[in-house]
Amino acid sequence: MTSNVSVYQIRAEYATIDRLTGQDVRANGVLELLTFGLTTMGLSPRVNIVRIGHPYRRSKTSNEGIIALELSKRSKLLRSIIKLFGWNPYLKSSIEWRLGAYQTDPRNFMDLLSKDEGKRKIFLFDDVTSAFVFSIDYLKRLRRGGGLLIYDSQNYYSSAPKRVVDNERRFMEMMDLVITSSYRDRYYYQKAFSDYASKFLVIPNCFPPISYISSPERTLSRDVADSKIGIAITGPSGLGSKAAAEFVSTVGAAFKNLDRKDVVLYLYGKVYDLISQRADAIKGVEVVNMGLERDRAKYIHKLSSARIGINHTNKHSAANTKKFDYALAGLVILSNPLGAKGEPLPYEYTYIDEGDLRVKLEWLIENVERLMSWGEENYMQAIRYSITAFNELRRSLESTLL
């Protein structure tokens, strides 16, 4: 089928970056929901990934599926200053300097769009940093050209500097639709930007494989009769040395001397290296390294090997997608206060420290016969959030495109 809609996903990061954080999961999830919605409307979207070309390194080319925008001369100068004098405390802490270095020269992008005549165009801007990629004048040109402009805010930053808030306000004025990552974020955005309240749409950080939306039935990795009680642990966001130490001292210590032969820890990604270094903390408990899985459906399936998921987050700005990943895998969830951010789930429990985590773990283990049904309720609630978000997104697309 010939493409009749071009979707441009624009992120303010280098084209050379290849990673899989919670923000990446959200960005990919929103893009997938958008293209799926267009497909169900009888349209045939073509996705174009737009990033920033690295000023000091050779970037991926559009032939590899990524369009690399060239930075403006001013941005290149700013980045050179930051690179040379980044040790300076002012430059290190100044978000204004760093965001000012995101602006691109739009001429090569305009040349690309001129070759895409005759198609509807959707520009999906990801995260507040994308508000600095193009000037407001250039955004007006995109609107005059018939483009549909969508902004996925990723997070509401309550402590953002005035320049960022002012630029985001001007940016929102240009948008046709503003997506927030939770009802909490929408609440704060409506307070801060009440003039644009009608543009807000909530898509929670819950991104099941698309097949789950059309058919919620799925298979689990675990055996219903499995005698082992699986506990899944994925790494917290921002695994710096301080965050890693806090994570291990809380989560790892909660398993010290647990000595349960019927418990198995499933460790995903980098968290295996962290926990395995504290062998004294997990003595008497079987540990399985599940590795890193980039395929979304396979990852959710592997998570379903467990019955309990530990959701430990150490940043206010964390996307917190793993909370809903656990729910989509049918797990009962134990979250620290930051991890509990976002939409409620029926069987999510909050812990405040290692002792609180240990007590609640032991209680859940003693109620093993209920874990399957409790996890299933989490799954169904997560699916309801996803279907509601998808239907609202589709209605918004229909009202603007058809």
Whole-number pLDDT of residue 311: 92
Stated pTM of the model: 0.88
Question: Distance between CA 23 and CA 164 in Å, rounded?
Answer: 19
What number of helices (H) and strands (E) belong to the chain?
16, 13
Output the six-digit token pair for 257: 């001397």
- In angstroms, rounded to a whole number, what is the distance separating the alpha carbons of residues 170 and 147? 17
> Where do the domains of the chain lie?
5-203, 229-382
Q: What is the mean pLDDT of residues 367-392?
A: 94
Q: What is the structure's pLDDT at 186?
A: 94
153 versus 76: which is more confidently predicted?
Answer: 153
Average pLDDT over residues 314-332: 86
Q: pLDDT tens across 80-124, in order?
A: 777 777 666 665 556 555 566 778 887 778 877 877 777 889 999
Q: What CATH code would you report for 5-203? A: 3.40.50
Q: What is the pLDDT of residue 107?
A: 79
Query: What average pLDDT is seen over the chain?
Result: 83
pLDDT tier at 200, thresholds 50, 70, 90: very high
**pLDDT-based confidence at residue 185 (cuts at 50, 70, 90):** very high
Return the closest-CA partner of residue 358 out of 282, 304, 290, 286.
282
DSSP-assigned states of every residue in 35-62: HHHHHHTT--EEEEEEEEPPSSSPPPPG
Lowest mean pLDDT among 43-52, 87-96, 340-349: 87-96
Looking at residue 209, what is its pLDDT? 84
d(CA 169, CA 193): 7
- pLDDT of 71 over the 50 cut: yes
* The CATH number, out of the four listed (1.10.645.10, 3.40.50.2000, 3.30.200.20, 3.40.50.620), of the domain defined by the range 229-382: 3.40.50.2000
| Range with the poorest average pLDDT among 54-58, 161-165, 260-264 | 54-58
Per-residue confidence (pLDDT) for residue 63, from 0 to 100: 41
Which one is predicted more confidently, 153 or 242?
153
Q: In the chain, what percentage of residues exceed pLDDT 90?
A: 41
